[in-house]
Amino acid sequence: MKVAVVGKGGSGKTTTAAVIARTLARQGIPTLALDCDTNPNLGLSLGVGEERTERLIAVRDAVDEGDEEHAGSTAELLDRFAIDGPDGVRFAVVSAIDNPEPGCP
C-alpha cells in the first residue's frame, strides 16, 4: 500500500498521515513514513520528538550535496537517513527548509 496525504494547510494532513503510519505498523506491516513537506512536522505527530525531527538529515539535501553520488538504491538511502520511530515506523524527511529558493511558493 502506498498512500499520499494532501490537503489545505491546517486541515490535518500531518496528523492523519502519522495515525495511518502507526496504525499500519501496529498491525505488523513494515511502514515507511516520508515527510515531503518543506516545513516538515511529521516527526512531531509520529512521536519522534522535536529534537530528533530537527536533527534528522534530509535525504534530498544530502543527495543534492553529492554526498550520495554512488548510492544507488532507495533501500541504501533509507538505511542511512531514516530513523526508527514509535511502533517501528521507519521515518525520513525528504525535503527541508535550509536553502529556500526564490521562485515558486
Choices 21-29, 60-68, 77-85, 95-103; region in contact with another protein by CB under 8 A: 95-103
**DSSP secondary-structure letter at 9?**
T
Q: Under 8 Å CB-to-CB from 53, ≥6 apart: which residues?
A: 40, 41, 42, 43, 44, 93
> Binders of another protein among 55-84, rule CB under 8 A?
none
Asked if 30 contacts 1 with a C-beta cutoff of 8 angstroms, the reply is no
- Least Å distance, CB 100 to another protein, is 4
Q: How many other CB atoms sit within 10 Å of the CB of residue 65?
A: 9
Element (H, E) at 92: strand 90-93
Choices 28-36, 39-47, 62-70, 77-85; region in contact with another protein by CB under 8 A: 39-47
Choices 7-15, 19-27, 28-36, 72-80; region in contact with another protein by CB under 8 A: 7-15
Distance separating alpha carbons of residues 61 and 75, to the nearest angstrom: 17
* Total of residues contacting another protein (CB under 8 A): 24
Sites of contact with another protein (CB under 8 A): 8-11, 14, 37-39, 41, 44-45, 47, 49-51, 53-54, 97, 100-105
